[in-house]
Amino acid sequence: MKLFTVGPVACYPIVLKAMGEQMYSHRSAEYKKLHYDTVERLQKWLETQNPIYLFSSTGTGFMEAAVRNCVKDSMLACVNGDFGKRFAEVGKSNGRKVEVLEPIIGEPITPQGLDDALRKHPQVEAVAITHNETSAGLINPLPELCAVSKKHGKLIFVDAVSSMGGTEILVDKWGIDICFSSSQKCFGVPPGLGIGSVSKRCLEIAEKLPNRGYYFDLILWQKDHEKGQGTPVTSVIPQVAGLSAVLKMVEEKGGKKWYFDLYKRRNTKIRRAVKKLGTPVYPKRGYESPTVNCIKAPKGVPGPQIYEAMRKKGYELAQGYGALKDVTYRIGNMGYIPNQSLNSMLETLKQVYDEI
């Protein structure tokens, strides 16, 4: 099966090879070297001085960490799809009051909309933004949204699960307090590893906040990070080794710009091809995701039918998600996708459209 999923995505062969090595202790000198080398490469990639923690959980662990460690009473969640909704749920389920900014689906969060929401709810301590809303194939204007949040003096939490690695994110320049992702997306590594940077401001708040829990206690993570210990719990060593292999590969090929351009080329090729077939992408023009195309299903054809037909021919795309399940289907362009597979997938999709 050739994968054009939205995560977990196909892994690079070098990742699978690195992950197949024999285990060693996460307290060994070998692991510590791998850990801090990987952290440094990620800091360089995200252009940040903030510490980066490698959680033995998926990215959602950082939503929990952000809420438990940094929000005392209330936060604002920007929701334009199911993952924004999840961040709001994490806030509510931890007993915080969550205000919601929710444009109609397919529309971005606008700087003006955010400014209005923060004027209406000046008490919120933090703003949660989904950079790339995977469910709708939409990318929000992150630098502008960060500037508005900063103007209001709010903490900024960014869910970059399907954007980190696939498009530029400048953590320090944009002033992001917590920026997190998962291994199974743009870096093309199996699931199980959460990657997140945390600002000094967050740590100062966390220090004074009771009931942070244990597993995602940022103070505990920072202590072990500073001590040279890496992680307070057992690390997912194979995933870290896989991530290290990808970061090295990208550096050898020309750096992150090379990787972003590769994603852009794949993504544009898919978008143009589906448009030619008469089915444009779902989100508002100018806000199309660079890592996943969410495509309107042909008139009268449920999205899952396209997904099933492609599966029978050896291509795993992704079904629509949440509210868009029936009216869309999705094609991801993250991870290991040889050019030849991309071309044959698009030819097969044309056949499927001819047959339905």
Ligand X SMILES: Cc1ncc(COP(=O)(O)O)c(C=O)c1O
The minimum distance between CB 92 and ligand X, in angstroms, equals 16
The minimum distance between CB 292 and ligand X, in angstroms, equals 8
Nearer to ligand X, 309 or 321 (CB): 321
- H or E element that contains 318: strand 318-319
On the 0-12 / 13-18 / 19+ scale of CB atoms within 10 A, 196 is buried
The minimum distance between CB 24 and ligand X, in angstroms, equals 25
Nearer to ligand X, 138 or 309 (CB): 138
User: 149 to each of 87, 144, 154, 203, 302, how far by Cα in Å?
Assistant: 17, 9, 5, 19, 39
**Rounded-to-integer distance, Cα 146 and Cα 230, Å:** 29
The minimum distance between CB 7 and ligand X, in angstroms, equals 5
Return the bridge partners of 52, or none: 197
Nearer to ligand X, 190 or 346 (CB): 190
Task: Give the orientation angle of helix 111-120 with respect to helix 142-151, to 10 degrees.
Answer: 30
The minimum distance between CB 130 and ligand X, in angstroms, equals 5
- Rule CB under 6 A: which residues touch ligand X? 7, 58-60, 83, 130, 134, 159, 161-162, 182
Nearer to ligand X, 124 or 161 (CB): 161
The minimum distance between CB 59 and ligand X, in angstroms, equals 4
Which regions of 21-154 does DSSP assign to beta strands (E)? 52-55, 74-78, 97-101, 126-130, 132-133, 138-139
Question: Could you give the count of Cα atoms lying within 13 Å of 128 in the half-sphere of its Cβ?
Answer: 34
**Rounded-to-integer distance, Cα 288 and Cα 141, Å:** 11
Nearer to ligand X, 84 or 352 (CB): 84
Nearer to ligand X, 52 or 309 (CB): 52
